[in-house]
A and B are shown apart, each in its own frame.
Chain A
């Protein structure tokens, strides 16, 4: 129960940050990506603000032998730079530019714009499930 409550509260803090920062406004995200047009540099400050906290915070937290509510830290072990990493990230970036939404804001914005958010999420879920089905077929 404590785990679920912690996850809910941390998710709320994350969602609140997305809304306050402007990440849930697709026009603002696209204006950030419009370097040679009506550029709005705000989102660089979102990333800067977030990284300033995680750069220090992760260092302090990862000194502990274990997290508070789990047995161990689950950190990605892969180190290899693969074509999948680059191709996947490029496809994601194209979609991000087309809609002005990435996965976190797409969820946080549901109560604020249910219609368009739902349309985007149908595509997103299709992409996620399609990818996993494709990976299973490849074995």
Chain B
């Protein structure tokens, strides 16, 4: 049985607001879309460009977790999938976000704000696939 999580609308709104503010500030400062899959790919692939700010941004992404872990205030994190499933999922996320030109942040937070039809199609596609996948895992396959 999967761990239950409680409905947390306030922290969700505050955290979401911070994500939106970060995306807005990245556009204001560097003129870039805050799409994590794109920033990561540009930092690590042979064809990548502008690695400096990308690596600085990714290092920043890790910083809050490092601080929370250091002061012993780490929030709950429960992984349900095991090793093999995590690798398979990672492959799908890596390949899929490259082929589909973006993920939850680039298409969701930034693309929808620009009213991009491509991003709307992407968000509907990955949300639908996510709902169906968890539905099958939990209610058909009977796994977690």
Which residues of chain A have a CB within 8 Å of any CB of chain B?
A: 3-28, 30-31, 33-38, 40-55, 57-58, 61-62, 64, 66-76, 78-81, 84-104, 106-113, 116, 119-132
Main secondary structure of the interface of B (DSSP, over half): helix
Cross-chain contact B64 with A96 (CB below 8 angstroms): no
Shortest C-beta distance, A124 to chain B (Å), equals 4
Cross-chain contact B19 with A99 (CB below 8 angstroms): no
Which residues of chain B have a CB within 8 Å of any CB of chain A?
A: 2-9, 11-34, 36-37, 40-41, 44-47, 52-54, 56-66, 68-69, 74-81, 83, 85-101, 103-105, 107-114, 116-118, 121-123, 125-135, 137-139, 144
Cross-chain contact A11 with B60 (CB below 8 angstroms): yes
- Which chain A positions have C-beta within 8 A of B138? 34, 37
- Of A25, A36, A67, which one neighbours B135 at CB under 8 angstroms? A36
Cross-chain contact A40 with B6 (CB below 8 angstroms): yes
Cross-chain contact B5 with A25 (CB below 8 angstroms): yes
Cross-chain contact A112 with B68 (CB below 8 angstroms): yes
Cross-chain contact B89 with A120 (CB below 8 angstroms): yes
Shortest C-beta distance, B143 to chain A (Å), equals 10
A102 to B112, CA, bound (A): 17
Known A-B contacts A50-B16, A58-B110; the reply to A100 vs B7 at CB < 8 A is no
